[in-house]
Amino acid sequence: MSVLVDKNTRLIVQGITGTEGLFHTQQMLAYGTNIVAGVTPGKGGEWVEGKVPVFDSVKKAAETTEANASIIFVPARFAPDAMFEAADAGIPLIICITEGVAVQDMMRVRNYLDQKGVRLIGPNCPGLLTPGEAKVGIIPGDIAIPGNVGVVSRSGTLTYEVLYAMKNIGLGASTCVGIGGDPVNGTNFIDCLEMFNDDPKTEKVVLIGEIGGNDEEKAAEYIANKMTKPVVSFIAGQSAPPGKRMGHAGAIIEGGAGTAEDKINALKSAGVRVARHPEEIAELLK
């Protein structure tokens, strides 16, 4: 079984004719993802790769193709409107790859999507991968094999490293969810932990966190009180200096809060095995 995306996912690509959108559409199609439509205003009626119709609006694309997910590859200044448009079209799952979306814009988007009951992954995330079924985003398809380990991560590149290390020792993933590292995003650790906990085919979970905020501490509390499956973790940014942003907009230690040490201690107290480096996660899972 999978979480959020599988072979039955009917995907729309917003920004399909742009450089990034077109490249990753080709990669997703090659993996076998069921892309049913693309959207670029003003280019309705065109075709991508000879088989994906392009529409002027998400509403028209959704009505025509019965899509149930949309992925967004548009510049940051257009991303909020793209998310609003997908929600208004009745799309229940939106994945926003775009980075650099303003925090104030994301606060408005998150409030609106919550009212609509829409699930958002991202922004500033690598997307989703259910090995052998669907690749929705920019996670390389060949670095993971199907299996029973659920992976949720704030970091894209560390996700790739962990999936590949798992593959090298024969461990596969049920689904990998890259939630992104921005201060305001759509789906958090607890959301994913809950889904993996309820998924009968997921037997273990990997949580990849990083400095900044308190999402990992909240996740630790959830794990201690409600999680029935073993969790292995890694926290990035253990040597980061206070007050300096490290990579993601949300990866910053402020006022002594959000340190790697705090997160590691909270997770260990919840019974989570915490790796010293990313490659060790695969060994701890064994």
Active site residues: 248
Q: What is d(CA 266, CA 257) in angstroms, rounded to the nearest whole number? A: 13
Helical spans, DSSP H, in 130-214:
156-168, 189-198
Q: Which token pair is 207?
A: 């949580």
Q: In what order do the strands lie in the sheet with 173-178?
A: 134-137, 127-130, 173-178, 146-153, 204-210, 231-236, 273-274
Helical spans, DSSP H, in 6-155:
19-31, 58-65, 79-88, 103-116
Q: Which residues are CB-neighbours of 72 under 8 A, at least 6 positions away?
A: 14, 15, 79, 82, 83, 86, 94, 95, 96, 97, 98, 122, 123
| Torsion angle of C-alpha atoms 94, 159, 250, 196, degrees rounded to 10 | 60
Q: Which residues are CB-neighbours of 225 under 8 A, at least 6 positions away?
A: none
Contact 141, 129 (CB under 8 A): yes
Q: Report the residue count for the chain.
A: 286
